[in-house]
Homo-oligomer: A and B are copies of this chain.
Amino acid sequence: MYRNRTCGELNLSNVNEEVTLAGWVHKIRKMGGITFIDLRDRYGITQLSFNEEVNPDLFEKANKLGREWVIQVTGRVTERSSKNPHLPTGDIEIIVSELNVLNPSDIPPFTIEDETDGGDDVRMKYRYLDLRRNTVRKNLELRHRMALETRRYLDERHFLEVETPALIASTPEGARDFIVPSRMNPGEFYALPQSPQLLKQLLMVAGFDRYFQIVKCFRDEDLRADRQPEFTQIDCEMSFVHRDDILNMFEGLTKHLFKTIKGIELPDFPRMSYADAMKYYGSDKPDIRFDMKLVEIKDLTEGHGFGIFDASEYVGAICVEGCANYTRKQLDELTDFVKRPQIGAKGLIYVRYNEDGTIKSSVDKFYTEDDLKKWLERCQAKPGDLLLLLSGETEKTQKQLSELRLEMGSRLGLRNKFDYQCLWVVDFPLLEKDEELNRFFAKHHPFTSPKPEDIPLLDTNPAAVRANAYDIVINGVEVGGGSIRIHDSQLQKKMFSVLGFTEERAQQQFGFLMNAFRYGAPPHGGIAFGLDRFVSLFAGLDSIRDCIAFPKNNMGRDVMLNAPAPVEQEQLDELGIMLKPKK
């Protein structure tokens, strides 16, 4: 080793020891006849001291070093005269007796500090320098620990980590696959998995009983800020279980991670039906760090000549505590907020319940104070509160109210990143109708089991069938989701037929699964957590990118590696493919 100690471990108990350290020159301070250097490695920072009087040659050599040079030093640990209480090694410094330059450095394009001066693009291009920053590396250390603790927890509960193949077959259902041309089978392609869904179900058929895998998955989607073409899942499946067995097991995993990694003991997670989530939060991933539930008041608004409400399927309100004194300007801001195209409301109605008990509303023309009082009562408003109302088509308006609710939560500081509130959302609809194509799609995927009591509805009212599916939601973020699967080949066949598959197409695409179900498939179900999102939640990050070592930008590019890139003609020839001529 080029060192016998790291830069993070020395303290007063080591005084007078001779040590050898290696690392990066973090900072140089020249104070007349003494030069101090902060030497940095992954484990910390240690101050080096060079004294002109004691060793003029070494002093001169030290003064020639630059930021980010890699050096090796030997010296004696000494108590500092002016200590730094913010640094674990702040009580000591090294009086250097030997200095060895291992590698010089050009001046880096941005500062290697928690708060850097580097913009996003330059930091991504020089990601290897960006990763030197403490804040970024900490995220990856956290990721490592979360993965390790996940494995520990699941291993202790007899889960086997089984690697499933990355080169599989493409299924045109769902999101777009990345495909990989096969040289040995010209004209044929592998697909990279969007998830190991079918393979883990086959492992259940194989009697593996409890499976997990922390696994890269791939989706060729147009990227939004918080999506990556490759992402990592904690993918799990269990046999001989009912829904609650799975919820308990993975609530346990979540609690284990919070406890071991963040020292937080979480209470049991509430369970909320999808129907309630939509009704009270307008969202299938409610942020329950704060209350401010949606209240439907359509019945109270009818017949007063206010055409907008009368023509609306739904009128809903949220009660914002203590905001009756919002100014006209603030209310206008909120109106602009809900009118943004991403949200799409037509306007915003308010009712001020002033501290003095008076009531003021933007629809005073249509509603008497008594009318408005009824609204306030249903919303359990107190003097000083503000009601905000939206109206329109039910589901759309609920979603708009949800956005407004989140915005108000943020404005009022009710969404502390490090206050973690976990929730199970259950009983999702099994199917979603595409009105344009006039056919049903699986909301989760075609292997999700209906709730047993809803199976008869598959024939009579498919839209009403609830799935035996669940999501785990933390602070309004969907961290994971799963379902009890169909294990009966007849029910699976029925499901494909409801989804409009011909028998032939179902057989062609999923024949191996339906065949497998003929040989004794056990009842089973599972869940997958998005590791990237889970880590960024723990780290309090706004984007998943910062917990990924080498992320891609929103054009799917790695600007450091310059990938993707053209390949040589010879490679294409060998694969039997050609580029389409550009138009």
Binding site for B on A (CB under 8 A): 1-3, 22-24, 40-43, 68-70, 72, 102-106, 108, 126-132, 137, 140-141, 143-144, 147-148, 151, 155, 160-170, 172, 176-192, 199, 202-203, 205-210, 216, 218, 220, 222-223, 229-230, 232, 240-242, 245, 487-488, 512, 516-523, 548-550, 552, 555-558, 560-568, 571, 573-580, 582
Asked whether, in the complex, the Cβ of A68 is within 8 Å of the Cβ of B519, the reply is: yes
CB distance from A259 to the nearest CB of B (A): 18
Supposing A183-B220, A556-B184 touch, asked if A240 and B1 sit within 8 A by C-beta, the answer is yes
Asked whether, in the complex, the Cβ of A209 is within 8 Å of the Cβ of B128, the reply is: no
Residues of B within 8 A of A140 (CB): 160, 162, 208
Question: Which of B155, B167, B521, B578 is the one whose CB lies under 8 Å from A577?
Answer: B578
Please, which residue of chain B has its CB at the minimum distance from the CB of A24? B520
Question: Which of B72, B141, B188, B240 is the one whose CB lies under 8 Å from A564?
Answer: B188
Separation of A172 and B190 alpha carbons in the complex (Å): 21
Most chain-B CB neighbours within 10 Å: which of A182, A241, A516? A182
CB distance from A521 to the nearest CB of B (A): 6
Residues of B within 8 A of A549 (CB): 162-165, 199, 203
Asked whether, in the complex, the Cβ of A165 is within 8 Å of the Cβ of B520, the reply is: no
CB distance from A249 to the nearest CB of B (A): 10
Asked whether, in the complex, the Cβ of B519 is within 8 Å of the Cβ of A128, the reply is: yes
Asked whether, in the complex, the Cβ of B41 is within 8 Å of the Cβ of A168, the reply is: no
Separation of A392 and B560 alpha carbons in the complex (Å): 51
Separation of A182 and B553 alpha carbons in the complex (Å): 14
Supposing A104-B520, A172-B571, A180-B180 touch, asked if A167 and B565 sit within 8 A by C-beta, the answer is no
Residues of B within 8 A of A143 (CB): 162-163
Separation of A362 and B70 alpha carbons in the complex (Å): 65
Question: Which of B131, B191, B519 is the one whose CB lies under 8 Å from A108?
Answer: B519
Copies held by the complex = 2
Separation of A574 and B160 alpha carbons in the complex (Å): 38
Residues of B within 8 A of A488 (CB): 103
Residues of B within 8 A of A202 (CB): 127-128, 550, 560
Please, which residue of chain B has its CB at the minimum distance from the CB of A160? B144
Asked whether, in the complex, the Cβ of A170 is within 8 Å of the Cβ of B565, the reply is: yes
Asked whether, in the complex, the Cβ of A103 is within 8 Å of the Cβ of B209, the reply is: no
Asked whether, in the complex, the Cβ of B164 is within 8 Å of the Cβ of A550, the reply is: yes
> Can you pick out 15 interface pairs between chain A and chain B where the beta carbons lie within 8 Å of each other?
A43-B209, A105-B518, A105-B519, A132-B207, A137-B206, A137-B208, A148-B151, A166-B192, A167-B556, A167-B563, A170-B571, A184-B222, A189-B565, A202-B560, A512-B562
Question: Which of B151, B162, B242 is the one whose CB lies under 8 Å from A1?
Answer: B242
Residues of B within 8 A of A519 (CB): 68, 105-106, 108, 126, 128-129
Please, which residue of chain B has its CB at the minimum distance from the CB of A104? B520
Please, which residue of chain B has its CB at the minimum distance from the CB of A184? B556
Asked whether, in the complex, the Cβ of A131 is within 8 Å of the Cβ of B240, the reply is: no
Question: Which of B169, B176, B229, B232 is the one whose CB lies under 8 Å from A565?
Answer: B169
Please, which residue of chain B has its CB at the minimum distance from the CB of A557? B185
CB distance from A211 to the nearest CB of B (A): 9
CB distance from A384 to the nearest CB of B (A): 50
Asked whether, in the complex, the Cβ of B207 is within 8 Å of the Cβ of A564, the reply is: no
Separation of A561 and B549 alpha carbons in the complex (Å): 32
Please, which residue of chain B has its CB at the minimum distance from the CB of A108? B519
Please, which residue of chain B has its CB at the minimum distance from the CB of A161? B144
Asked whether, in the complex, the Cβ of B1 is within 8 Å of the Cβ of A176, the reply is: no
Apart from A1-B245, A183-B220, list 16 A-B contacts with CB within 8 A: A42-B207, A68-B519, A70-B521, A102-B522, A137-B208, A165-B552, A168-B563, A169-B563, A169-B565, A176-B183, A178-B190, A179-B181, A180-B192, A185-B557, A187-B582, A191-B563
Asked whether, in the complex, the Cβ of B561 is within 8 Å of the Cβ of A70, the reply is: no
Separation of A144 and B168 alpha carbons in the complex (Å): 22
Residues of B within 8 A of A192 (CB): 166, 180
Asked whether, in the complex, the Cβ of B180 is within 8 Å of the Cβ of A70, the reply is: no
Separation of A555 and B180 alpha carbons in the complex (Å): 15
CB distance from A188 to the nearest CB of B (A): 4
Residues of B within 8 A of A42 (CB): 207-210
Please, which residue of chain B has its CB at the minimum distance from the CB of A25? B520
Separation of A252 and B178 alpha carbons in the complex (Å): 40
CB distance from A3 to the nearest CB of B (A): 6
Separation of A222 and B162 alpha carbons in the complex (Å): 26
Separation of A362 and B245 alpha carbons in the complex (Å): 75
CB distance from A140 to the nearest CB of B (A): 6
Please, which residue of chain B has its CB at the minimum distance from the CB of A560? B512
Question: Which of B132, B184, B566 is the one whose CB lies under 8 Å from A206?
Answer: B132
User: Which 8 A-B residue pairings sit nearest by Cβ, starting from the closest?
Assistant: A131-B206, A105-B520, A169-B563, A188-B564, A2-B240, A182-B564, A42-B209, A68-B520
Asked whether, in the complex, the Cβ of B577 is within 8 Å of the Cβ of A577, the reply is: yes
Separation of A103 and B518 alpha carbons in the complex (Å): 8
Asked whether, in the complex, the Cβ of A41 is within 8 Å of the Cβ of B207, the reply is: yes
Supposing A163-B216, A163-B232, A179-B181 touch, asked if A170 and B521 sit within 8 A by C-beta, the answer is no
Separation of A362 and B130 alpha carbons in the complex (Å): 71
Please, which residue of chain B has its CB at the minimum distance from the CB of A207? B132
Asked whether, in the complex, the Cβ of A523 is within 8 Å of the Cβ of B2, the reply is: yes
Asked whether, in the complex, the Cβ of A207 is within 8 Å of the Cβ of B131, the reply is: yes
Residues of B within 8 A of A582 (CB): 186-187
Asked whether, in the complex, the Cβ of A141 is within 8 Å of the Cβ of B160, the reply is: yes
Separation of A338 and B548 alpha carbons in the complex (Å): 53
Separation of A579 and B573 alpha carbons in the complex (Å): 10
